Amino acid sequence: MSATAPRARSKRALRSVVAAQFFSSLADNALLIVAIDLLMQRHAPGWMTPALRLFFYLSYVLLAAFAGAVADAAPKGRVLMATNLIKLGGCALLLWQVQPLVAYALVGLGAAAYSPAKYGILPELIPQEELVAANGWIEAGTVLSILFGVALGSTLVGKGLALPAIGAVYLLAAACTLAIPHSPARDRAALAHPGRLLRDFGGSLALLWRDADARISLAVTSLFWAASATLQFLVLRWAAERLGLTLSQGALLQIAVAIGMAAGAVGASRWFPLGRALRALPIGIALGAVILLMTLVTQPAVAAALLVVIGALAGLLLVPMNALLQSRGLLYMHPGQSIAVQNFNESLASLAMLGVYGALLYFDAPLLPTLAGFGGFLVLAMGAALLWSRRQRPQERFGYSPAPNRLSTRSQSESPKIRQ
């Protein structure tokens, strides 16, 4: 009994973390759809729709150097509860008809602090040999939450109880954290020296950009998430103007992308192991080319099939790039800092691309040229990344570069984490 009791406790702990993550992510995805609908109801200018995400990512950028310290300064289960309540506060601000951009920025603050606590709590609760499987459950729950969250948001569009219903889901996520076993704070003084945190973060940022393989993967993942954030809004506009769909129907098309990404992720683990991660780069060029094909589509069924292909290509590209970046990050810093640096770069790139798209909307740029320009930019950018990789690592033939002899891994026992 003494041997099975710890295993049973770790399983209960994992179920609690996965449940909290599922409901929190489900509410996040539903809230975005409902917030877009609120802007439409208030006849807000078109540029305000991507500005929702812009303010969300701005929170990630501003908290990048401190998010990991927040997770370390208190028991992580309590951090998960607090961040869900912060998101609930953003939902309440929308209900009280506060400016949606301000409300969504508050949701972003909660999400920025939530991410490192979510991944950092697993090594504290789960045996080392079970960490990879535990991360798999987290990611599987996240994919499902995206699917169900988009469906829930689409169902709630136009309904008076939409925001209270989403608020109830955030409360449910917070309640799930009550079942997480208590673990002591890793460093209660983690936030005592903000200047040192900024210096450490700047040093970590420079370290990753100086490493050849990390530089390539960081550039690609940053471009990917920036493109993903922008494409989310482009698809909604494309669905309305070219396919004749409502907001609810257009939002459901995002499920096709998620299904494709799940399939692509499975294929990536088989075809692009860490040693061949950089060989996935040409897929980025194909991704941009397929997005260009969206300009020719006017039928919803064809659109859904095309979005599945886009999602599959995205999964094939993202998974090996993430794995490569995380493996290089572990050579220089603990996983939480590596994730914070990655989130900072990806959020900063998303801010830039969403800002450009918002400007195009402000100046009433037509849909098809915007979509074609977006796809063409991805083709050129990924082509540049491919050439960049060849010039930096001609001897590797797009293979994985082993760790330099002067480096030692600080956290070989810790499992690399995947961003939500």
Comparing CA positions, the residue from 382, 376, 383 lying closest to residue 289 is: 376
For 233-258, what is each residue's pLDDT tens digit? 999 999 999 999 999 999 999 889 98
* Residue 420 pLDDT greater than 60, yes or no: no
> ∠ CA 19-20-23 to the nearest 5 degrees?
85
Length of the chain: 420
Report the top-level CATH class of 1-190: mainly alpha
For 303-318, what is each residue's pLDDT tens digit? 999 999 999 999 899 8
* Domain ranges in the chain with CATH number 1.20.1250.20: 1-190, 193-402
Helix pair angle (100-120, 131-156), 10° resolution: 160
- Residue 37 sits at φ, ψ, to 5 deg, of -60, -40
For 71-112, what is each residue's pLDDT tens digit? 778 888 899 999 999 999 999 999 998 988 999 999 999 998
For 167-205, what is each residue's pLDDT tens digit? 999 999 999 999 888 777 777 777 778 888 899 899 989
- Whose structure tokens read 């996935």? 280
Secondary structure element (H or E) that encloses residue 59, with its range: helix 48-63
What is residue 408's predicted lDDT score, i.e. its pLDDT? 37
Secondary structure element (H or E) that encloses residue 234, with its range: helix 212-241
Q: pTM of the entire structure?
A: 0.82
Question: Which residues does 185 contact at the CB level (< 8 Å), separation at least 6?
Answer: 72, 73, 74, 75
**Which range has highest mean pLDDT (4-8, 269-273, 297-301, 333-337)?**
297-301
Cβ neighbour number for residue 73 with a 10 Å cutoff: 18
Homologous superfamily of 193-402: MFS general substrate transporter like domains (1.20.1250.20)
Residue 122's pLDDT band (cuts 50, 70, 90)? confident
